[in-house]
Amino acid sequence: MAPNTHSRTPFRTQIRRLLPLVLSLSTQVFPGAPSAAVGADKAAPSSEKTAGDAASPKKTVNKEDLRKKLTPTQYEVTCNAATEPAFRNAYWDNHAVGLYVDIIDGEPLFASNHKFDSGSGWPSFFQPVTKGSILEKEDRTHNMVRVEVLSAKSGAHLGHLFPDGPRPTGMRYCINSASLRFIPVADLEKEGYGKLRPLFQEPAAGAPAQK
């Protein structure tokens, strides 16, 4: 006997007619459910960055290129989170007025009028030029729990952050000289940092004098 296809046709037709209604209701009851316009196997397009993107370095650094550009100490500090010797580095005792920038990409990081003598043997600052220029990350190496300081754009290791600094912030950014390049205030315009000259018009409020 031939199958009765006529009796199944109305049922299939009803299913096809009801499917858009079911999908529409599901998106109202379950907002995260896929709509008829967006298939279940496709994500809705988005132009916004996630919070993870904002907290990650913004540039991809070619380490082989850096090996050619940096000294061995600069490379080990910035790329492998090494620590240079205390009291035997370029800027721990530098009292000149000027700007400290990322050795890799030149991003402004610290200013001399935020620098203080911590007695640690490394350049120490109570704040960065802008909070957005650095990243802070938990560091559990060497059987310690510390806060690692990274350059936000290049991802370079800079040093560590400690809550034992002077006023007004009470923080101590203990930074490796090898991760920095110093630009004297007289060279700001020549080096392309003229817009930051107002930083050095007068000492920051509450800034401790360097010894």
What CATH number belongs to 63-200?
A: 2.170.150.20
Cα 200 to Cα 110, 166, 169: the distances in Å are 12, 19, 19
The pair phi, psi for residue 147, each rounded to 5°, is -110, 115
Radius of gyration for the chain, computed over Cα atoms and rounded to the nearest angstrom: 28
- Rounded Cα distance between 120 and 177, Å, is 13
Interval 162-188 mean pLDDT? 97
Name residue, tokens 């205030």: 185
CB atoms near residue 183 (< 10 Å): 21
pLDDT band at 45 (very low <50, low <70, confident <90, very high): very low
How many CB atoms within 10 Å of residue 190? 10
Between 19 and 103, residue with greater pLDDT:
103
Q: How confident is the model at residue 64 (pLDDT cuts 50, 70, 90)?
A: confident
Distance CA 210, CA 112 (A): 9
**How confident is the model at residue 4, as a pLDDT?**
47
Higher-pLDDT residue of 133, 31: 133
Phi, psi values for residue 108, rounded to 5°: -60, 130
Name the more confident of 56 and 154.
Answer: 154
C-beta of residue 73 within 8 angstroms of C-beta of residue 80:
no
Give the tokens for residue 12: 């299939």
Provide the pLDDT for residue 18: 55
pLDDT value at 154 more than 90: yes
pLDDT tens digits for 70-86?
999 999 999 999 999 99
What per-residue confidence (pLDDT) applies to 167?
Answer: 94
Q: What confidence score (pLDDT) does residue 48 get? A: 34
Which ranges of 104-165 would DSSP assign to H, the alpha helix? Answer: none
Q: Is 98 left (phi over 0), alpha (psi -120 to 50) or beta?
A: left
Q: Residue ranges of the domains in the chain?
A: 63-200
pLDDT at 50: 29
Which residue is catalytic, options 79, 171, 174, 207?
Answer: 174
Average of pLDDT values for 96-120?
97
Dist. CA 23–CA 182, nearest whole Å: 62
174 has catalytic annotation: yes
* Greatest CA separation for the chain: 105
